[in-house]
Structure 1
Amino acid sequence: MKIKYLGTAACEGVPAAFCRCEVCEKSRKAGGRNIRTRSQALVDDTLLLDLNADTYVHSLFYGLDLPSIHTCLITHDHEDHLYQDELLNRQEGFAHGIDGQPLFIYGTYPAYAKVVAAIDKGTGYADHNVMEDRVSPVRVKAFEPFEAEGYRITPLEAQHDVRCEPVIYLIEKDGKALLYAHDTGLFPESTWEYLTGHPVKLNLVSLDATHAIHANYSGHMGFAADAQIRDRLVKEGLADESTIYVANHFTHNAGVTYDEMLPVAEQYGFLVSYDGMEVEF
């Protein structure tokens, strides 16, 4: 299994579009791994994680064949994770050669409803359903596993904006397991109860590190909270010394660039994500 980080920032990006803070100015000047687009990832060139406004740019940067992607998992409906109007570009007359090859969008009800609204918006321009067999929304619920393209996928409750029914995803295939945990604070006990009741050996854990070197435990996390998650995963027998931990999803408000946060993360034993990073496990 492998994961490719297409984007690794929080909603503003780094540098943020309209910001002149020290981190943004340093990042603009330094370039390279200090530049972050909005968070999105791809598993095994098959499962797309989130669909934000940078999706098209990611497809250009990394040669992502979007017409060949048929499964997208949405963590929650905040705009930096779901830009539903992008789906209008899959309708008849906009996208050719994809008839009968729908993109299945999996998400909890708020995300599902936004995708349905986008389909209705596209269809409203025509006298027939121009989105038929092109976009297929699927509503998911926390702790109810489903199968997609040979993967067993389990949405788990996240600790984030409750209005959007946020989830993190446990993804399993061929004896490998990935936990993709963004946007969330310290996991709710309901998620721990599920994980311990359905034991799995995690090979890679991707953890929200929005606040990086600063302590934060609610809604988002930083390295200290990530370490708490790691320690409990090990304690519960869900991870071991071979498990890979990736800190991901950063804001300029953390006050540090990639170059500055890297040595701190290394002390915790975390990899620090950057746009374009790929990890096989």
Structure 2
Amino acid sequence: MRVTQSMLSNNMLRNLSSSYNKMGVLQEQLNTGKKVNRPSDDPVVVMKSLGYGMTVDKVGQYQKNLGEVNNWLDSSDDALDGVGQVLHRAKELATNAANSGAMTPGDRDKIKIELEQMQKQLQDLANTKVGDKYIFSGTMTDKPLFNGTSYETDAAFGKNVEIEVFDGVNLRVNTDARKMFEEIDVLFERIKTEGEGFDFSGAISIIDRNMDIVLTNRADIGARSNRSELMHNRLEMQEGAAKKQRSENEDIDYEVVITELITSESIHRAALSVGARIIQPSLVDFLR
């Protein structure tokens, strides 16, 4: 087959164009640090990267959910700590009253005044909020447990609130303390209204029982906090693994790409030099 000058010129132009394209791809990879910059570069790599990215995003959402879980648990524990302090002081008052025999009207007035303040403190604690949600109101998080006159009795105020922290894993974040708050409130109200005839010895047993309830609830909150910490560690491990896989899938090896670019430039210059010898000088001048 006869090789014409036109065939030589076309082959050279085609090879030069291919060489330019390859160097352009390598330069873009160096600029972005990515193996692919559009789906057409490598659909398989792009699809894998999307999958890893979705995993990272999902883990990020679960980590945000865990943050909300910890807010609920920490706020619940702080509130119950406040309840415990109120009950401790109430027990001191009841013990003094039970051991002092007959109480003077002045003594009863002092106890009544302090109990009123403790009662209001308990009502405030029962309406503790995280953000705009009441944490002791069960699933009725938009409504306070103490409505200003009494404690809510709807069953929804005792239902559990759960937050998803992993695929198929939910953590209960609320503490059902409705009956405890109501019983203490009723006790304080009786002490204020029954006056001298009130049985303070009986009140001490009621207070002790509710103090045990507070401790039990705080222990339960501590156990859930520990589980939340374990889930946090698990999510960090999964996030790290997904980011590593995504990096291995789409990030370039700079040393390799730089070497390939230098090699491509050398080949490109060699091709230009060879082409200058095999085609007509006028065409070479035109290309320059």
TM tier, smaller: under 0.3
TM-score normalised by the chain length of structure 2: 0.22
TM-score normalised by the chain length of structure 1: 0.23
Structure richer in helix, relative to its length: 2
Structure richer in strand, relative to its length: 1
